[in-house]
């Protein structure tokens, strides 16, 4: 069996979902030939840079504009316009991608971004298009661009997401409600005290994990400082690859009774989630899926309009998260969360119930067996 996994590096979530599918596939199908590619690697540098950077820059610098474009793009007319644009670029920009497909000749194609399906739509029925084409939506609701008529299956992540695809013309029998693919690490049990001992953390303190991005690079030190005011508390701050941000947070004064641990880029995010009681984070599809798989409640500051705002609404409606749209609101909700054990327990249970740690495994078994 030859399995081709395709992502597009337009936002980190699509790539992470593809990596999760690859990790599970390598465990499950030892004799299979598995290839994981970024479709943008087969395009010219200028196209790749423009496509990949468009969302990241707009979401960071003009979130309201991004939200407007996202909602406008959910209309059928917008989907037709984008398909026309893609076809105009297709012959030149995606010739290498098509050549790779013909050479690899996969039995199954799994896409964590809708772009490959858009590219392949005009070639449906060609003698080299003999594979099943499967799309994995990477948010909790289903934007119109995921409703690709040439897809064999589309894996959605909520009942509402399923109905959105059906409303956009996809037959019900081609839609599955499964969950967002996440790495195997998020589906395992962990010993909190052992992890705390290894990482020099205090297992007795209420622990808040803060992932960079919620308030932007400049706001992370302010956010962490406000959380340290809730001593006794332990704050784990993750600055990612931003060394300046890491230094600024590390320099913060720590009140008596509080503990601050600062990380840059980490590979053990699952362990940090396992020892945390609350995660302050953006509401990307992969991050919210990982938190729920770990039974970890979320507090989402200022969700970006568009898919992240819709994800935030989904996890909030299902009792897994709180939304804070101002620093004052964030302080109020953290205080309430820390002071109300029943609330914490209920949110943890809701997150565990909604979590789908084995989604990637289910997706692969469905594709291979049907």
What pLDDT was estimated at residue 57? 75
pLDDT of residue 214: 44
User: 190: exposed, middle or buried (C-beta count within 10 Å: 0-12, 13-18, 19+)?
Assistant: middle
**Cα(115)–Cα(31) distance, integer angstroms:** 29
CATH of the domain at 303: 3.40.50.2000
Q: What is the pLDDT of residues 122-132, one digit of tens each?
A: 888 888 999 99
Please return the burial class of 72, using the count of CB atoms within 10 Å of its CB with bins 0-12, 13-18 and 19+: exposed
Identify whether residues 193 and 340 lie together within a single domain.
yes
- Domain count along the chain: 2
pLDDT at 311: 97
Mean pLDDT within 252-281:
96
Task: Indicate whether 58 and 148 sit together in one domain.
Answer: yes
Cis previous bond, 90, omega within 30: no
If you average pLDDT over residues 20-24, what whole number do you get?
98
Residue 286: which of 97, 107, 157 has the closest Cα? 157
Position 326 pLDDT exceeds 60: yes
Looking at the structure, tell me whether residues 191 and 173 fall in a common domain: no
10 and 115 belong to one structural domain: yes
Give yes or no for residue 90 having a pLDDT over 70.
no
Mark whether 195 and 294 lie in a shared domain. Answer: yes
245 and 156 belong to one structural domain? no
Residue 63 burial by CB count (10 A; 0-12/13-18/19+): exposed, middle or buried?
middle
Regarding whether 103 and 40 lie in a shared domain, the answer is yes
Displacement of CA 73 from its chain's centroid (Å): 20
Shared domain for 296 and 167, answered yes or no, is no
When pLDDT is averaged across residues 57-71 and rounded to a whole number, the result is 79
> For residues 150-176, b (16+ Cβ closer than 10 Å) or e, as one string?
ebebbbbbbeebbbbbbebebeeeebb
Task: Tell me the three-class secondary structure of the chain, residue by residue.
Answer: CEEEEEECCCCHHHHHHHHHHHHHHHHHCCCCEEEEEEHHHHCCHHHHHHHHHHHHHHHHHCHHHHHHHHHHHCCHHHHHHHHHHHHHHHHHHCHHHHHHHHHHCCCEEEECCCHHHHHHHHHCCCCCCCCEEEEECCCCCCCHHHCCCCCCEEEECCHHHHHHHHHCCCCHHHEEECCCCCCHHHHCCCCHHHHHHHHCCCCCCCEEEEECCCCHHHHHHHHHHHHHCCCCEEEEEECCCCHHHHHHHHCCCCCCCEEEEEECCCCCHHHHHHCCCEEECCCCHHHHHHHHHCCCCEEEECCCCCHHHHHHHHHHHCCCEEEECCHHHHHHHHHHHHHCHHHHHHHHHHHHHHCCCCHHHHHHHHHHHC
Q: What is the pLDDT of residues 228-244, one digit of tens each?
A: 999 999 999 999 888 89
Mean pLDDT of 24-41: 97
Provide the domain limits for residue 233.
185-354
Cα 71 from Cα 296, distance rounded (Å): 29
**Does the pLDDT at position 215 exceed 70?**
no
**206 and 88 co-located in one domain:** no
Same domain, 296 and 198: yes
Q: What is the mean pLDDT of residues 329-344?
A: 96
> Region 333-337: what's the mean pLDDT?
97
In this structure, the answer to whether residues 133 and 234 fall within a common structural domain is no
Q: Do 175 and 84 share a structural domain?
A: yes
């Amino acid at each position: 069996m030859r399995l081709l996994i395709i992502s597009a590096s337009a936002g980190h979530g699509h790539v992470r979902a593809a990596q999760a599918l690859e990790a599970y596939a390598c465990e499950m199908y030892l004799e299979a030939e598995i290839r994981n590619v970024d479709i943008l690697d087969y395009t010219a540098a200028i196209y790749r840079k423009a496509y990949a950077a468009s969302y990241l820059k707009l979401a960071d610098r003009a979130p309201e504009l991004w939200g407007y474009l996202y909602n406008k793009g959910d209309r059928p007319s917008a989907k037709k316009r984008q398909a026309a644009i893609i076809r105009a670029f297709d012959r030149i920009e995606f010739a290498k991608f098509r050549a790779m497909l013909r050479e690899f000749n996969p039995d199954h194609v799994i896409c964590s971004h809708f772009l490959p399906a858009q590219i392949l739509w005009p070639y449906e029925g060609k003698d080299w298009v003999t594979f099943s084409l499967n799309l994995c939506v990477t948010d909790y609701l289903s934007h119109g661009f995921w409703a690709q008529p040439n897809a064999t299956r589309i894996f959605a992540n909520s009942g509402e997401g399923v109905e959105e695809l059906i409303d956009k013309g996809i037959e019900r029998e081609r839609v599955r409600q499964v969950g967002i693919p996440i790495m195997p690490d998020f589906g395992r049990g962990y010993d909190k005290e052992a992890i705390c001992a290894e990482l020099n953390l205090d297992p007795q303190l209420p622990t808040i994990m803060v992932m960079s991005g919620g308030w932007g690079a400049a706001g992370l030190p302010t956010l962490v400082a406000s959380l340290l005011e809730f001593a006794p508390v332990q704050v784990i701050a993750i600055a990612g690859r931003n060394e300046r941000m890491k230094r600024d947070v590390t320099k913060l004064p720590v009140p008596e009774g509080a503990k601050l641990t600062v990380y840059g880029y980490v590979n053990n995010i699952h362990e940090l989630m396992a020892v945390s009681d609350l995660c302050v984070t953006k509401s990307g599809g992969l991050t919210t899926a990982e938190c729920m798989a770990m039974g970890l409640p979320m507090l989402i500051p200022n969700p970006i309009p568009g898919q992240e705002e819709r994800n935030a609404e989904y996890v909030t409606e299902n009792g897994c998260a709180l939304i804070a749209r101002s620093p004052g609101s964030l302080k109020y909700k953290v205080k309430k969360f820390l002071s109300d054990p029943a609330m914490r327990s209920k949110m943890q249970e809701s997150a565990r119930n909604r979590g789908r740690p084995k989604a990637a495994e289910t997706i692969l078994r469905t594709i291979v067996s049907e």
